[in-house]
């Protein structure tokens, strides 16, 4: 049970009358106490600043966490590019717009996260950080939050501001994480001795020293964070059991996403397959045309998400069982889908698994290849070669995963792992424990 006072202090009372009363039968709670042994936890309203980069795959996984923090009464301001205003406002948080240096980049200039391209990505990230830190510091003025909540993979500006202000930080990680037992380096193939990489590390180091930070390795790996919230279940993470409790695998923290509108299944009763390559590496008109052209002879109703880089009219005449969207109301469609053809971005992967939908992965970049391999390894679907997405192979894979009892058994197991991870409630608990 939860009680709130006008001063903003919230009291969460245990439903167990025996819990936490050993030392004083009259004690109903303690401030910031051990949640496992207290009858109540008294948590003051905290001022939290949240930061995310330009990327739906980094914003969407945080929405449920932010909504839960707001529900608990915390004062949360979320700085992000303007395109995310509606979805962030829907959480109840205060939205504050920022202008990203990446907004003017064409999708065809997005770096692949491996080899030489990875070094270029680091340069873009450094440039974004250099641009945003002074802007965000000026926006805060003399105010200081109690805690900084920020994307751990890309929002380096959150780390720098937390250091500057001397406040704790909690990072959200919407992707696979690395340690000495498993690393994305197996997919990104970075040569740490290459001159380009070493020059980039020197550039980053010089910038960080100007910010009063000397530990470059610790900074880039997020070691200053009190807690890392990983929005996937530990069971999906490679070598998941080897990660310490500084990594909280909370699973997907989904919201209703009213901003995307509603979607209803076809009246024909045909099984639904969702085909979408996400919001970034999705400029694949060849694939979309092949899917649309081959769908007419299939028993499936196809919901095709093409993103904002492809004109739906360029796909040619559509069969009656095909509908095309620039932006798909993905969660609404997945509630009815029997299969999901996906780029295997972690956000989409988790949304499909949370809905219990078999996956057919067509990864478009290094991180997605790691996700796709894990999907196959865990028996949650199939993976196709992105260089040769032959329609016949796709339809064979869709029919196979939709009708495979073993895949559905594994999906049921993964849904139970997701539920056990705790989602936004466990994430918000961890953030409150990190408060000073």
Is the same domain home to 198 and 332? no
Judge whether 17 lies within some domain.
Answer: no
The DSSP element (H or E) to which 377 belongs, if any, is: helix 366-377
- Cα atoms in the Cβ-side hemisphere of radius 13 Å centred on 405: 0
> What pLDDT does residue 17 have?
32
21 inside domain = no
Assess if residue 16 is contained within a domain.
no
- Domain membership flag for residue 73: yes
Question: What SS3 state is found at 342?
Answer: strand
Same domain, 213 and 274: no
pTM over 0.95: no
Q: Are residues 242 and 289 in the same domain?
A: no
Cα distance between residue 303 and residue 337, in whole Å: 9
Domain membership of residue 38 (yes or no) is: no
- Tell me, yes or no, whether 221 and 298 share the same domain: no
Same domain, 276 and 321: yes
* Same domain, yes or no: 288 and 228: no
pLDDT of amino acid 112: 55
Judge if 161 and 219 occupy the same domain. yes
CA distance 158 to 140: 13
Residue 285 belongs to what domain range?
Answer: 260-419
In a domain, 303, yes or no: yes
What pLDDT does 22 receive? 34
**Does residue 356 sit in the same domain as residue 393?**
yes
**What pLDDT, on the 0 to 100 scale, is given for residue 389?**
62
Q: In the chain, count of helices (H) and strands (E)?
A: 14, 17
Instruction: Find all residues with CB under 8 Å of 141, minimum gap 6, and list them.
Output: none
For 52, 57, 58, 112, 122, the CA distances from 81, given in Å and listed in that order, are: 8, 13, 12, 22, 20
**Separation CA 127–CA 120 (nearest Å):** 11
Neighbours of 354 (CB within 10 A): 19
Q: What phi, psi does 412 have (nearest 5°)?
A: -60, -40
The neighbouring-strand residues paired with 322 are 302
Q: Which structure tokens are listed for 346? A: 């972690």
What residues have CB less than 8 Å from 146, skipping those under 6 apart?
A: 46, 47, 48, 167, 435, 436
C-alpha distances out from residue 332 to 100, 254, 262, 336, Å:
30, 12, 7, 7
Tell me: do 351 and 429 sit in the same domain: no
User: What residues contact residue 317 under an 8 Å CB cut-off, 6+ apart?
Assistant: none
Residues 6+ apart with CB under 8 A from 423: 64, 250, 251, 252, 253, 254
Pair (360, 314) in one structural domain:
yes
Burial profile 281-300: b = 16 or more Cβ within 10 angstroms, e = fewer: bbbbeebbbbbbebbeebeb
The token pair at 4 is: 């709130």
- 28 inside domain: no
Q: Are residues 220 and 115 in the same domain?
A: yes
The answer on 123 and 144 residing in a single domain is: yes
Question: C-alpha distances in angstroms, 147 versus 61, 247, 315?
Answer: 19, 18, 48
Number of domains within the chain = 2
In-domain check, residue 40 = no
Pairing of strands 272-276, 337-342: parallel
pLDDT in tens, the chain (436 residues): 343 333 344 434 333 333 333 333 332 232 343 433 333 455 689 999 999 999 889 999 999 999 999 999 999 999 999 999 999 999 999 999 999 998 877 655 555 555 567 888 899 999 999 999 999 999 999 999 999 999 999 999 999 999 999 999 999 999 999 999 999 888 877 788 889 899 999 999 999 999 999 998 899 888 999 999 999 999 999 999 999 999 999 999 998 887 777 899 998 999 999 998 865 655 667 788 888 888 888 999 999 988 767 777 777 788 889 898 888 889 999 999 999 999 999 999 999 999 999 999 999 888 899 999 999 999 999 999 877 767 889 999 999 999 999 999 999 999 999 999 999 999 999 999 999 9
**For residues 423 and 253, what is the distance between their CA atoms, to the nearest angstrom?**
5
Task: Locate 266 and state its tokens.
Answer: 């076809």
Q: What is the CATH number of the domain that holds 372?
A: 3.40.50.2000
The predicted pLDDT at position 318 comes to 83
SS3 string, 143-193, reads: CCCCEEEEECCCCHHHHHHHHHHCCCEEEEECCCCCCCCCCCHHHHCCCCC
Yes or no: say if 78 and 188 are a contact pair by the CB < 8 Å rule.
Answer: no
Q: How far apart are CA 73 and CA 4, in angstroms?
A: 9
């Amino acid at each position: 049970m939860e009680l709130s006072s006008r001063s903003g202090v919230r009291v969460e009372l245990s439903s167990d009358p025996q819990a936490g009363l050993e030392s004083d039968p009259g004690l109903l709670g303690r401030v910031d106490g051990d949640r496992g042994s207290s009858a109540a936890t008294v948590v003051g309203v905290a001022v939290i600043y949240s930061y995310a980069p330009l990327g739906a795959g980094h914003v969407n996984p945080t929405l449920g966490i932010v909504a839960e923090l707001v529900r608990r009464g915390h004062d949360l301001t979320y700085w992000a590019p303007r395109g995310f205003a509606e979805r962030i406002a829907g959480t109840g948080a205060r939205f504050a717009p920022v202008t990203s240096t990446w907004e003017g980049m064409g999708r065809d200039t997005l770096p692949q996260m491996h080899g030489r391209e990875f070094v270029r990505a680091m340069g873009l990230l450094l440039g974004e950080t250099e641009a945003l830190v002074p802007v965000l510091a000026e926006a805060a003025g003399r105010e200081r939050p109690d805690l900084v909540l920020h994307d751990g993979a890309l929002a380096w500006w959150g780390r720098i501001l937390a250091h500057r202000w001397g406040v704790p930080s909690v990072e959200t990680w919407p992707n696979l994480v690395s340690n000495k037992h498993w690393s994305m380096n197996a997919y990104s193939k970075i040569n740490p001795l290459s001159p380009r990489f070493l020059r980039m590390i020197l550039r980053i180091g010089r910038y960080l020293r100007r910010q009063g930070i000397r530990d470059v390795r610790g900074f880039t790996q997020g070691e200053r964070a009190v807690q890392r919230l990983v929005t996937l279940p530990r069971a999906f993470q490679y070598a998941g059991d080897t990660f310490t409790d500084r990594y909280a695998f909370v699973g997907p923290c989904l919201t209703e996403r009213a901003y995307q509108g509603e979607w209803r299944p076809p009246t024909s009763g045909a099984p639904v397959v969702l085909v979408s390559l996400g919001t970034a590496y999705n400029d694949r008109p060849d694939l979309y045309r092949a899917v649309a052209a081959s769908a007419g002879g299939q028993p499936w109703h196809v919901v095709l998400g093409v993103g904002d880089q492809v004109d739906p009219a360029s796909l040619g005449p559509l069969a009656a069982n095909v509908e095309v969207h620039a932006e798909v109301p993905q969660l609404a469609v997945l509630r009815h889908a029997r299969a999901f053809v996906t780029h295997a971005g972690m956000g989409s992967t988790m949304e499909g698994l949370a809905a219990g939908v078999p996956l057919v992965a067509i990864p478009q970049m290094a991180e997605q290849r790691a996700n796709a391999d894990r999907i196959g390894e865990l028996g949650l679907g199939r993976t196709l070669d992105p260089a040769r997405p032959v329609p016949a192979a796709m339809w064979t894979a869709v029919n196979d995963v939709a009708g495979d009892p073993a895949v559905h058994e594994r999906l049921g197991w993964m849904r139970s792992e997701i539920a056990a991870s705790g989602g936004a409630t466990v994430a918000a608990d961890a953030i409150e424990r990190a408060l000073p």
